[in-house]
Amino acid sequence: MKRVGRILSWSIAGIGILVVLALALAWVFDFRQTDAQLNKEFAGQAIRPTVRRYQVGQRTIRYMETPALAGKPTILFVHGAPSSLSFFNEFFKDTSLLNRAQLVAVDRPGYGYSDFGQVEPSILRQAELLQPLIDRYKSSPDLIIVGSSYGGSVSARLAMNNPGVIDQVVFVSSALGPGLERTYGISYWVDKAPLRALVPPLLRLANDEKLAHRRALEAIMPDWSRVTAGITMLHGLRDELVYPTNVAFAKKQLRNAQFKQFILPESRHDIVVNKREYIASILLSILPPPSASVLSHVNGTTPTR
């Protein structure tokens, strides 16, 4: 019995040490890159992104974009939490994508260098803050949004707000249905003093969004029928953070959209990291043929899909 008690004590102590180490690392690493670091990251490429910013009221939004390609589509990547636009760096090194589309990635409000630390828990408001990007690229022959995890929630709202403008949305491990995700008990503990003060800003941001997520998703529920973009969903069957039941939820809600789904039986909530080439291949299959894209640009029409 004493041996069992010692094992239990050591286990609890070990978990405590791991939590402390994780918090310490999160204070040091905030999963973002400065403009200079991004420029260095892509310095050796023929096609390199440029880092830009814009203002909406008192909020600053940072994004990066590769040069516009005449008559070719635009792909906008929207990250989850905790993260930043750097999460998509490997896509910006993929020449098969770079030669077929203009690539754009954005720091969501509060993340990266979009006013780091200033949380915006409302999906409605986050979509408003990203709307200038939609306006910037709306003349593209095809505008495609890729939303990962929480970024999928924001991408859904952008699609609701821009029917006929956004042509395709790719949801990757996306949280779309209210309550269809795991919230750990510790999330509630660290939201209160004095523990909240010990949580690094990046994790505090993600936790604030997590605790407000159900209400934020409920706020956009009435508008799913406004989505007319083509929908592609990728989800891991073993995802225990954002449940695969989000796929069935989205299919039921998206009554006015063409719908495709790809369920990966062995994947968890790690598709963007571990299945990047697979995602790239799906994006390439969604992009219109180059000749059709050029023709639509010349005629001012959208290719038929």
pLDDT of residue 184: 85
- pLDDT top residue among 45 and 206: 45
- Token pair in block for residue 296: 């639509």
pLDDT of residue 252: 97
Distance, CA of 92 to CA of 284 (rounded, Å): 14
Which residues, at least 6 apart from 220, have a Cβ–Cβ distance to it below 8 Å? 123, 124, 153, 156, 157, 160
Distances (CA, A) of 258 to 12, 126, 189, 252: 49, 25, 42, 12
Place of tokens 């200079």: 36
- Token pair in block for residue 193: 């003093």
Q: Which of 105, 101, 67, 104 is nearest to 86 (CA)?
A: 105
- pLDDT top residue among 24 and 288: 288
Distance, CA of 63 to CA of 107 (rounded, Å): 6
Q: Is the pLDDT of residue 16 over 50?
A: no
Q: Is the pLDDT of residue 119 over 80?
A: yes
Average pLDDT of the segment spanning 197-213: 86
Place of tokens 């994780």: 22
What's the pTM value of the predicted model, to 2 decimals? Answer: 0.85
In the chain, % of residues over pLDDT 90: 72
CB-CB contact of 71 with 294 (8 Å): yes
pLDDT tens for each residue of 210-246: 989 999 999 999 999 999 999 999 999 999 999 999 9
In the predicted model, what is the mean pLDDT of the chain?
88
pLDDT tens for each residue of 124-181: 999 999 999 999 999 999 999 999 999 999 999 999 999 999 999 999 999 999 999 9
304 confidence band (pLDDT: 50, 70, 90): very low
CB-CB contact of 127 with 98 (8 Å): no
Q: Is the pLDDT of residue 39 over 80?
A: yes
